């Protein structure tokens, strides 16, 4: 799922007459969405159905897991050996010193945060305009070549969403 629409991108580009190529706009949005996912280490859409993932607890009472976007279908189980699983009651989601934890959930986010949508639009604009900037050269000024670089606004918008641990 893309984090913005072609209408969002058209509005940002000032394309009120739908003159810009729909396929090129969508390609820029798709690439920008992938960039956001890669940069943050997470995705901002929601699984259609719940699926199970296993996390290694390393004997800790706290385990970092992936984003859960819905409580529908949520189940938590623990295992000492990874073969026999015991359900954890909904009222007690702090398993005691579990070696492994299996979580069944709808992974992702239930809605795209406004900052993520805006960062996707800004990144898509840059990618869309890249076709007019061969080899990253956007033009010339009084000091020489003007090259495209990573947008600091995109970085700032996404910074609160960057994961600080690996994805299971």
Asked whether residue 24 carries a pLDDT value surpassing 50, the answer given is yes
Read off the pLDDT of residues 87-107 as tens digits, 9 standing for 90 and up: 887 666 655 557 788 999 999
- Tell me, what's the pLDDT at 161? 96
Asked whether residue 166 carries a pLDDT value surpassing 70, the answer given is no
Percent of all residues in the chain with a pLDDT value above 90, rounded to a whole number? 58
157-164: long-range pairs with CB below 8 Å, 24+ = 157/115, 157/116, 157/118, 157/119, 157/122, 158/36, 158/39, 158/40, 158/115, 158/116, 158/119, 160/115, 161/40, 161/42, 161/44, 161/113, 161/115, 161/116, 162/39, 162/40, 162/41, 163/40, 163/41, 163/42
Read off the pLDDT of residues 108-127 as tens digits, 9 standing for 90 and up: 999 999 999 999 999 999 99
Asked whether residue 165 carries a pLDDT value surpassing 70, the answer given is no
Instruction: State the DSSP code for 75.
Output: E
Average pLDDT along the chain:
85
| 128: its two tokens | 């869309």
Asked whether residue 168 carries a pLDDT value surpassing 50, the answer given is no
């Amino acid at each position: 799922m893309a984090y913005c629409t072609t209408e969002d991108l058209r509005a940002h580009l000032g394309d009120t007459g739908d003159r810009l190529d729909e396929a090129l706009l969508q390609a820029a949005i798709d690439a920008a969405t992938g960039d956001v996912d890669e940069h943050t280490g997470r995705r901002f859409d929601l699984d259609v159905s719940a699926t199970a993932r296993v996390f290694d607890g390393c004997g800790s009472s706290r385990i970092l897991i992936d984003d859960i976007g819905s409580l529908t279908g949520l189940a938590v189980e623990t295992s000492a050996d990874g073969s026999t699983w015991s359900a954890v009651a909904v009222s007690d989601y702090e398993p005691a010193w579990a070696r492994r934890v299996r979580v069944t959930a709808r992974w992702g986010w239930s809605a795209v945060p406004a900052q993520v949508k805006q960062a996707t639009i800004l990144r898509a604009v840059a990618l869309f305009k890249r076709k007019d900037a061969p080899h990253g050269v956007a033009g010339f000024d009084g000091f020489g070549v003007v090259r495209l670089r990573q947008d600091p606004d995109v970085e700032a918008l996404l910074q609160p969403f960057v994961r600080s641990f690996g994805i299971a």
